[in-house]
Amino acid sequence: MDNATNTRTALVFGGSRGIGAAAARRLAADGFSVALTYVSQPDKANDVVAEIEAAGGHALAIAADSGDPAALVQAVDTAVSRFGTLRAAVINAGIFRMNMLQSVSVEELQQMLDVNVRGVFLALQAATAQMHDNGRVITIGSNSAVRTGTPGSSVYAMTKAAVAALVRGAALDLAPRRITVNNIQPGPTETDMTSGFIPQLVDRMPLGRVGQPAEIAALVSYLASDASGYMTGSSLTIDGGFVL
């Protein structure tokens, strides 16, 4: 471990852009050394690292596909080797595909299950194997687990409901170690994933706007802090009132 970075360690799975990048920046500002994974855009991941380091923090980008179990374990090993035992893990990696029920192929279904469900489980398993007692796990789900609202999103909604259920069970399994496990369920948020349909979403939002990644990251910050130690197994919806 690098003694110069002997601080609290956080690992953000899927931290190169959008909500994941905002979470990485916020955790670094909170004093964590932050490792973040990416799949296909090393330039964006390296930009996040450079931004954190320019502000005086410590960060590391790690290539890891959340659909690859071995890559997830290796990402944890790399983060711990560089910065030390994990204090917090944010499991943000996921994919979003819209397709009407009868048009969903078996391959498309399997891909979403592999990344959005199996990948979350395996990341949680790998991270908590090398996490301090009293650690923090935060998954990034979706308010679609509560209200789908849009035709063509049945598979995505199913995977995010599975994440909410997983968090409840994992919270019980990890309670003896005082590791908390909580799930954030963002609504429409201005990211690369939503850029194509932001305009039509605004009119459906009670607050008259979509969310910003930094707002989701603020909730990540709380759940990663000591102040959240009595909360576990919860799914917290932050969506501008969309599910009301």
3-state per-residue secondary structure call for 34-60: EEEEECCCHHHHHHHHHHHHHCCCCEE
Which residues are catalytic, by number?
156
- Cβ neighbourhood burial of 119 (10 Å; 0-12, 13-18, 19+): buried
- pLDDT of 179 reads 98
10-56 per-position pLDDT tens digit: 999 999 999 999 999 999 999 999 999 999 899 999 999 999 999 99
Residue 67 reports pLDDT greater than 90: no
pLDDT band at 93 (very low <50, low <70, confident <90, very high): confident
Give the residue extent of every domain in the chain. Answer: 3-236
Supply the pTM of this predicted model: 0.94
Asked if residue 5 has pLDDT above 50, the reply is: no
Q: How far are the Cα atoms of 37, 184, 194, 231, 243 from residue 239, in angstroms, in the given order?
A: 25, 10, 14, 20, 7
pLDDT of residue 244: 85
Task: Return the CATH number of the domain spanning residue range 3-236.
Answer: 3.40.50.720
Pairing relationship of beta strands 9-13 and 33-38 according to DSSP bridges? parallel
What gap in Å lies between CA 66 and CA 128, rounded to an integer? 16
100-132 pLDDT, tens digit per residue, is: 999 999 999 999 999 999 999 999 999 999 999
Q: Specify whether the CB–CB gap between 116 and 156 falls below 8 A.
A: yes
